[in-house]
Homo-oligomer: A and B are copies of this chain.
Amino acid sequence: MHEIAERVLTGDPRAIARALRWIDDRVPQAEEILRDLFPSTGKAWVIGVTGNPGAGKSTLCDRLIEAFRKRALKVAVIAVDPTSPYTGGAILGDRIRMSRHATDPGVFIRSVATRGHLGGLSRSARDMVRILDAAGYDIVIVETVGVGQDELEITRTAHSTLVVMAPGLGDEVQAIKAGIMETADVFAVNKADKDGADATVRDIELMIALGGESLVAVGKIRGHVVHGGAGEAAAHGVVAPVGASHWTPPISRVVSTRGVGFDELVAALESHRTWLTETTAGQERRRARLAEELRETLREALIEAAEHDLAATMDLVVASVAARETDPYTATRELVEKFRARF
């Protein structure tokens, strides 16, 4: 076993930081460590947190860390942070957030800049989660800044996805468009003491109620499994019945600035965790996500291998297609056969 992997298993924060950096930089050692650590993963509960910036996601995450710490759980946070290529600056700051939990050895926070390669970041996020899982963190929170399609992909690597909304942002319809409804396992309405919080809760309820049919349609188009239906009980912190085939996202009201409503929010998240582990539908979903991951990494690996094997051929083929000696459709088929036949 790689020395860094060994040290990660003991929870050494410097080894963890090194492993995460290797994943971020995509150095070859990263995969070695991930292979070493994989048998020690699968214990952490991974929570994705997403929502528009104005919703107060950072403050909410802070309170969520606090709530889990009260329960004696170790918490790690990966904040996916789309660094602007123009300013080079980070929107979220480790420093601001670290200050509150800096002295707590049970909390590990790391910002990951996206540096323009958002697509591949869902893979990096997943790999980083595994490091933190192997290092013994009970909870790993993956927080994204926005709610774009790529960021939803990242939260889809989580077991439970929490969508944070707030009154007065007018982002409900936008949320539907961006596919949040398919991704959300739990909703938190932050700033619940403000005017309009009731309306926001009602809007979400309406979306969930309407969601059944139209969301199934959208989900099918995108090749995703969409959940909706039962789960009312879960909204009140009650565990969903074993065998429930559908999951309806519960809605929790919180006031992050004052720490109000977090016991209920944690209960709502826990009800989703129970659904995932104790129902066949939940287990099937975990299996489907793993299959999805393998398909994704297989795709990447195939493309990499093909581009390596076919590099020389590609130039010839491009010239031949440009000269209209062959067509791109036939050329593609021939390239696939050539790649398959190489070994």
Contacts and interface: CB of A to CB of B under 8 A. Distances in A.
A343 to B, nearest CB: 4
A1 interface: no
Interface in A253-282: none
**How often does this chain occur in the complex, in copies?**
2
Q: What's the dominant secondary structure at chain A's contact region?
A: helix
B302 A339 contact: yes
A324 interface: yes
A40 to B, nearest CB: 9
B86 A214 contact: yes
B298 A318 contact: no
A298 to B, nearest CB: 5
Contacts of A307: 295
B290 A85 contact: no
B321 A290 contact: yes
B302 A303 contact: yes
B39 A297 contact: no
A6 to B, nearest CB: 17
A294 B335 CA distance: 10
A335 B322 CA distance: 34
Given A38-B329, A116-B221, A294 B322 contact: no
Interface in A295-321: 295, 297-299, 301-303, 305-307, 310, 314-315, 317-318, 321
- Count chain B CB atoms within 10 A of each CB in A38, A42, A293, A337 and give the residue with the most: A38
A327 B221 contact: no
B318 A290 contact: yes
B221 A332 contact: no
A129 to B, nearest CB: 12
A333 interface: yes
A287 B318 contact: yes
B31 A329 contact: yes
Contacts of A328: 38, 290, 293-294, 297
Given A294-B321, A340-B339, A343-B337, A34 B331 contact: no
A41 B326 CA distance: 12
A176 B86 contact: yes
B314 A291 contact: yes
Given A39-B324, A42-B324, A306 B314 contact: no
A209 to B, nearest CB: 14
A333 B221 contact: no
A336 interface: yes
Interface in A194-240: 214, 217-218, 221-222
A322 B291 CA distance: 9
10 tightest Cβ-Cβ pairs between the two chains A and B? A38-B327, A116-B221, A340-B343, A341-B343, A297-B332, A291-B318, A301-B336, A85-B218, A301-B332, A302-B302
Interface of A: 31, 34-35, 38-39, 41-42, 85-86, 115-117, 176, 214, 217-218, 221-222, 286-287, 290-291, 293-295, 297-299, 301-303, 305-307, 310, 314-315, 317-318, 321-322, 324, 327-333, 335-337, 339-343
Given A85-B214, A302-B336, A339-B340, 10 more contacts: A31-B329, A38-B328, A286-B322, A290-B318, A293-B328, A297-B329, A301-B332, A301-B335, A305-B336, A340-B342
